[in-house]
Amino acid sequence: MHAHKSAEIKTGKEFKKLVLVGNPNVGKSIFFNYLTGLYVEVSNYPGTTVEILKGKYKNFIVYDTPGIYGLSSFNDEERIAKNIIIDADVILNVVDAVNLERDLFLTLQLIDTGKPVIVALNMMDEAERKKIKINVERLSKLLGVPVIPTVAVKQIGFDKLVNAIENACIGNRDKKLLDKILFVSRKFNISEIESLLLVEGDSETVDKLKTKFDGEIYNYDEREKVYIERRNRVNQIVAEVVSIDTAGGRISGLIGRIAMHPIFGIVFIGLVLYLAYLIIGKLIAQDLVDFTENKIGVQIYEYNVKRFVANYFPVEINVNVIGEDDEIVDSRSFIFERGLKKSPELLSELQNFVRGKNVEYEFNFKNPILVIFFGEFGVLTMTVRYLLFLLLPLVVGFYLMLAILEDSGYLPRLATFVDKLMNYIGLNGKAIIPTILGFGCVTMATITTRLLSTTREKRIMTAILQITIPCSAQLAVITTLLMRAGFNAILTYILVMFSVFVFVGVVLNKILPGGATPLLIDLPPMRIPRIDNLIRKTWMRTFYFIKEAGMWFFIGAFAIGVMQVTGLLDKWIQLLSPLTVSWLQLPAEASRAFIMGIVRRDFGAAGFYSLDLTPMQTVAGLVTITLLVPCIASLMVMLKERGVVEGLIIWISSWVVAFTVGGIVSQILI
């Protein structure tokens, strides 16, 4: 470290990596926020969908890592945390004072890596309330690293902590283990942390090194022995530094206990899920979005943009007069050969026509380029409307709810409760969240598949969401159509959809290698979430989502626009007609509804309104349209989350499944 040239600071050469590590729910994010302030980069760890937060503090680049109980490769979070820790210069280990026995295992493991460590002993207030006394000086002496007591939510101890970061040092490592590590490290010429991981049988490290050193490295796996010895050391340390005045006391509060009660627990889940659906599926997805999308998006934003472009270019404007019952009572078409500005008489005629009436405008541009950018599916019209006025409110709502579930400590309890059920389709309990959210908006639910810990689970969940779950927009239309078709139709539809849901899950569970991760989780105490933390979390995730997904929406809209002006969209509709007519036994016009369903899911189903179908035709048609991958937005998000190849496989499967199942239903029923 030499010179203080500003140029060097900019290139980041002088920055050291400070990595925050800790068990889940120990308050790590509060430390991260305090250190980094507002300027934080959110990114996905390469090849995964696990969020990594990165920020700056003095001459450190600060990394937040997912909460882990130990350093290894048992799931995606651990793998990622481990890989960041491998490159760390200093480790700030946040420890929960109430659960010292659990948390110190990771602390000792971090010290064994030979990296400089400093420990923040957090939640000291809670420990005090529980009459847990900790001899901090003694703890620091036994660990051989600085230990600073803190109460993160009140920022108590933070001054001391930041001053002590530079005192972080290599702690008291396990002597026998150290000899072994040094031996392995010299023998294979690898770093100390890598040899520690090797000795602990970390699968990723073993895989990485086995090609280099053949089977020889397997001889050094002593995980069980090392783990048990470390556990014994933790227990000794805890026995020496912790004294408890009371005999335990209640573990979880009243709500925590209700949440885990075999009967009340289920009622509680029902309540939480219903509330979530009410707020997101109804209040936001329908009422709020109806306002932002139609009023602000269509009537203000799109109208003004199109109107501005229409000033200068040839355009045909269709004006529909809307009656009291939302139906079109009159319409007229105005053709401006050289744009609005050049034909003031026609413009004033138009203005006279609309005066005092409730009208809708359709702008049809002649120029294909204008159609791509400002047309029905325009990159600068539909996409912006989608992103800002349809998705943004949903995204904020979803992330806020997710943050509440996470920070309150309810999420792991909910997951525990439904775990057994989700196992049948190869998922674990956490998958309940994306499943329920899917009924609100599949696009967002696809993003929350990140909650799941293995790629296999993310894969199954995404496929189930994209293929079988109808979103709230579509559900509204489906419900209306089914109500008209009668009770038998409703029953058949539900039965078919549920069978497909189970079928897709069970089949994927069978054909994908591996199995559902067995449930073994530490349940954090239930807490009231902190508002500022919720806001910050929601804001960061929302910002990141729009930043990342935004581009994909533009690409999607551009592709559809090009297909529209080149006539490919119509070709596609024609291509589908024979299949629609002979196999699904629906009118040829239904194929337009299918394609429109790609643009937006409810458009598709709504296309059935005018078709005059028999009840069983309605069922066949709705089954097909539900099974098709939802809107372009969710397709794009899926491609982003699961990669292009996997995304396209799911997308094509959805076409196959949709037309196969729809056809079978039709052949049997009609």
Task: Name which of 471, 456, 503 is nearest 634 in CA terms.
Answer: 471
220 is a contact residue toward another protein (CB under 8 A): no
Measured in whole angstroms, the distance separating CA 532 from the mean position of its chain's CA atoms is 21
Phi and psi torsions of 224, nearest 5°: -60, -45
CA separation for the pair 613, 617 (Å, rounded): 6
- DSSP structural state of residue 151: B
Interface residue with another protein among 301, 365, 417, 603 (CB under 8 A) is 417
Name the one range near another protein by CB under 8 A: 411-419, 473-481, 532-540, 650-658.
411-419
Q: How many residues comprise the chain?
A: 670
CA distances from 30 to 40, 481, 536 (A): 13, 49, 10
Q: How far is the CB of 49 from another protein (least distance, A)?
A: 23
Name the one range near another protein by CB under 8 A: 32-40, 134-142, 227-235, 555-563.
227-235
Interface residue with another protein among 248, 344, 356, 513 (CB under 8 A) is 248
222 is a contact residue toward another protein (CB under 8 A): no
Q: How far is the CB of 100 from another protein (least distance, A)?
A: 9
Interface residue with another protein among 102, 233, 527, 530 (CB under 8 A) is 102
Interface residue with another protein among 153, 519, 562, 670 (CB under 8 A) is 519
CA separation for the pair 493, 501 (Å, rounded): 12
Q: Smaller CB distance to another protein: residue 266 or 575?
A: 266
Classified as helix, coil or strand, 375 is coil
Task: Name which of 498, 436, 431, 485 is nearest 460 in CA terms.
Answer: 431
Whether 22 contacts 103, CB under 8 Å: yes
Classified as helix, coil or strand, 584 is coil
What region, left, alpha or beta, does residue 200 occupy, with left being phi > 0 and alpha being psi -120 to 50 degrees? alpha
Name the one range near another protein by CB under 8 A: 209-217, 222-230, 338-346, 537-545.
222-230
Q: Smaller CB distance to another protein: residue 200 or 302?
A: 200
Q: Smaller CB distance to another protein: residue 258 or 649?
A: 258
Name the one range near another protein by CB under 8 A: 414-422, 538-546, 568-576, 592-600.
414-422
Q: How far is the CB of 234 from another protein (least distance, A)?
A: 8
239 is a contact residue toward another protein (CB under 8 A): no
Name the one range near another protein by CB under 8 A: 228-236, 363-371, 470-478, 534-542.
228-236
Whether 175 contacts 183, CB under 8 Å: no
List all residues 6 or more positions away from 5 whose beta carbon is below 8 Å from its beta carbon.
none
99 is a contact residue toward another protein (CB under 8 A): yes
Q: How far is the CB of 478 from another protein (least distance, A)?
A: 31
Name the one range near another protein by CB under 8 A: 58-66, 255-263, 624-632, 641-649.
255-263
231 is a contact residue toward another protein (CB under 8 A): yes
CA distances from 461 to 125, 423, 642 (A): 40, 12, 11
Interface residue with another protein among 72, 93, 443, 474 (CB under 8 A) is 72
Looking up tokens 């709504």 gives: 606
Q: Smaller CB distance to another protein: residue 525 or 587?
A: 525
Whether 653 contacts 629, CB under 8 Å: no
Whether 162 contacts 35, CB under 8 Å: yes
Q: How far is the CB of 263 from another protein (least distance, A)?
A: 9
Interface residue with another protein among 17, 56, 130, 530 (CB under 8 A) is 130
495 is a contact residue toward another protein (CB under 8 A): no
Burial code (b: 16+ CB inside 10 Å, e: under 16) for 56-86 equals bbeebbbbbbbbbbbbbbbbbbbbbbbebbb
Contact set with another protein (CB under 8 A): 69-70, 72, 74, 98-99, 101-102, 105-106, 130, 132, 223-224, 227-228, 230-231, 234, 248, 251-252, 260-262, 265-266, 412-413, 416-417, 419-421, 518-523, 525
